[in-house]
Chains A and B, each alone.
Chain A
Amino acid sequence: MFSGAFRERVRNSWVEMRENPARAGLQALGVIVGVAAVLGGFSISDSQRRRADELFVRLGGLDKLNVQPNPVVNDGRPSALQTANLGLRRQDSEDGQDLDAKLVAGASVVKSARTRVRSPYADQERQVSGIGGSYLATEGYEVAHGRAFSAEDVGNGSPVAILGTEAESVFFPHGDAIGSTLRVGDVPVRVVGVFEERVFRFRKSQGNRFAWRNRIIAVPATLVTRRFEGDAYQRLDRVTFKMRNVDAISAFSKELSGLLKANHRQQEDFRLDDVNARMKKRRSQGDVYNIIFWLSGILSILGGGIVNVNIQMASLKERVREVGVKMAIGAPGKEIFKEMMTEALLVSGLGATVGLIAGIGFSKIITGAIGIPLYMDPKSFLFAFVLASAFGFLFALYPAFKAARLSPMEALRYE
């Protein structure tokens, strides 16, 4: 196929294209606009989606399964089993981890309390998060200064705390938090660390979506359950299992469901929340936009194709005479057909390339204006390019076929 004759034909088409710049330019215009629209549309929606994915990842990853209490609605007197049920507690998190060590990388637990928090500088009613297990890793927190909780801290319920940057600036505005004492409820708690500030803006102009995470006042979960609440059963607000493999979540959640039901006296007083599934759902909602972009891209290429056909019609007289001359000097119909198709492919190929460049510029401008980083999927490039070339090819077929079937005399005398 890439014989000398083919190269010769491409070279000839290139020359003819340059001899007729207006015709070629107008033909390419439809393709350029179409490709730019498809690529731009895809890239903008991909960038938006990529940003949303990033949010999930920054929240500690997608490979998580949350378990939260979901109290059974009581009408009238609770049954004996309901009374005997202890709810979501620390034991559940341990049993869950033991269920399948190959699948579960770790588990974090949270027990929060709302209480009065005091320092020499501030006195506020605050949410205090009692944390345990691999909470920091699971939720994406990092300690900036000081240290994390030791196993001993969590085991004994030591009166220690780690603050988010906002909490730090409220309670210890002079930066002397570490080593200082914070009164949480009636308990004096020593600050041992400060978390890294968490910032995530969906768009540049928007506020920090992670602002709430900087408000955290973290203490060992055991401190909350024992000292604040006096709860010997160590009931929890949430258990999060970190999985080794995202695909294992659904299988694991079935097993876990059975286990929890057995632990909870056959009560389904818990709710499983698969983070990955939640994100997938969000993504599938984004697919609607993709379909719209597809359609608009295809429509603009179609429009370009129709413009193309019109241009071919407008230049028909000139073209037919040209075909007549070529036939008279010995070009067979097949050669005329190949010539026109090569030219069309060349024009749509070049148009598509220019369209890709225009599409990149277009996407850059739009994502820059809404303030999200640009992400372009190589697949969008390929798709836009193939689509445009295919349409260029299809719309060239009919005129080329017609031209090839002309008789030389008809073509020479065409007026």
Chain B
Amino acid sequence: MKPIIETRDLTKTFGSNGVAVRALRGIDLTVDRGEFLALIGPSGSGKSTLMAILGCLDKPTSGSYAFDGERVDGLSNAELARIRNDKIGFVFQMYNLLPKASVLRNVELPMLYAGVRRKERRRRATELLERVGIPEKAKSLPSALSGGQRQRVAVARALANQPAMLLADEPTGALDSKTGHEVLELFSELHRQGNTILIVTHDLSIAALASRQVEIHDGRVAEASQVA
């Protein structure tokens, strides 16, 4: 079976006239299906840039990137949007929920862009909220929820289109340690259910929960370690 992520000599350079910042300097990375991978590194290491490219939110300057067996480095913005919608579920540090939309509609939104019918959307979103443990919050606004609950909504939204990979960027960064731990528990649970999870963090204790850590340093893969 092909790996979910396979990059070869991936680079990203920002700025054009004069001052060029080389954020990524040749990343070779392979992630298999079903893995729980932690991408670690200090701020400024380039891990956020890598995350954006792996998440198809940005395009590499050079190098090749195959996602789920498909070359994505040359795709148009619309095609990348389709891949994000179809195959990647995002969980951000600041939740990034639509503040005025109900919890249920936030979870439904990816399905709306996937063209799922209304009844089906509603059914699946309700199911997902049950799965992340907050079915009673369906009609609430995100502002009425605690940070942990909001992140659960974000996880439910990320799972909406049954993605090939969950991509979490510092998912516990805005949470206290207890709720942060609960959210991580949820990720572990999802991993046990067979989901591929890629988590970006600077916190080594969080990274320890993953099955593999990849450290990014100065735009390169510094070290890869396997945890049993």
Contact = CB atoms under 8 A, between A and B. Distances in A.
Contact of A328 (B78, B96, B99, B117): B96
Contacts of A247: none
B52 A330 contact: no
Interface stretch (B104-112, B170-178, B216-224): B104-112
Interface string A392-409: 000000000000000111
Determine the main DSSP class of A at the interface with B: helix
Given A5-B115, A329-B84, A330-B82, A324 B96 contact: yes
B118 A331 contact: no
Contacts of B97: 325
Interface string A14-53: 0110011000000000000000000000000000000000
A335 B82 CA distance: 11
Interface core residue of A15, A329, A332, A334 (most chain B CB under 10 Å):
A329
B2 interface: no
Contacts of B66: none
Using C-beta atoms within 8 Å of the partner chain, give the interface range for chain B.
20 to 34
B90 interface: yes
B98 A322 contact: yes
Contacts of A327: 57, 81, 84
B78 A333 contact: yes
Interface string B73-99: 000011001101110001010001111
B100 interface: yes
B100 A331 contact: no
A332 B112 contact: no
B134 interface: no
Contact of B157 (A324, A329, A331, A412): A329
A330 B85 contact: yes
Interface string A198-237: 0000000000000000000000000000000000000000
A332 B83 CA distance: 10
Contact of A330 (B99, B113, B118): B113
A199 B10 CA distance: 92
B58 interface: yes
Contact of A329 (B99, B101, B105, B110): B110
Could you say which interface size class chain A belongs to? 20 to 34
Given A8-B118, A20-B100, A322-B98, A330 B58 contact: no
A408 B118 CA distance: 26
B114 interface: yes
Interface in A372-390: none
Given A19-B100, A412-B96, A329 B57 contact: no
Nearest to A19: B100
Nearest to B157: A329
A180 interface: no
Contacts of A266: none
Given A325-B97, A325-B98, A412-B96, A8 B112 contact: yes
Given A5-B115, A8-B118, A331 B85 contact: yes
B141 to A, nearest CB: 9
A326 interface: yes
A333 B81 contact: yes
A12 interface: yes
Contacts of A12: 112
A243 B109 CA distance: 70
A223 to B, nearest CB: 87
B90 A329 contact: yes
Interface string A290-332: 0000000000000000000000000000100110111111111
17 contacts: A15-B101, A15-B105, A16-B101, A19-B100, A326-B109, A327-B57, A327-B81, A329-B110, A329-B157, A330-B114, A330-B161, A331-B85, A331-B113, A332-B78, A334-B78, A335-B113, A408-B57
Contacts of B98: 19, 322, 325-326
B90 A332 contact: no
A336 to B, nearest CB: 9
A331 B113 CA distance: 6
Contacts of A333: 77-78, 81
Nearest to A331: B113
Nearest to A405: B77
Contacts of B55: 328
A334 B113 CA distance: 11
A360 B161 CA distance: 49
A330 B96 contact: no
Most chain A beta carbons < 10 A, residue from B52, B81, B157 = B81
A37 B81 CA distance: 44
A409 B101 contact: no
Nearest to B118: A8
Which residue, of A19, A335, A408, has the highest number of chain B Cβ atoms within 10 A? A408
A321 B98 CA distance: 9
Given A318-B99, A408-B58, A412-B92, 4 more contacts: A5-B115, A8-B118, A328-B90, A332-B82
A19 B97 CA distance: 14
Nearest to A330: B85
Interface string B102-146: 000100011011110110000000000000000000000000000
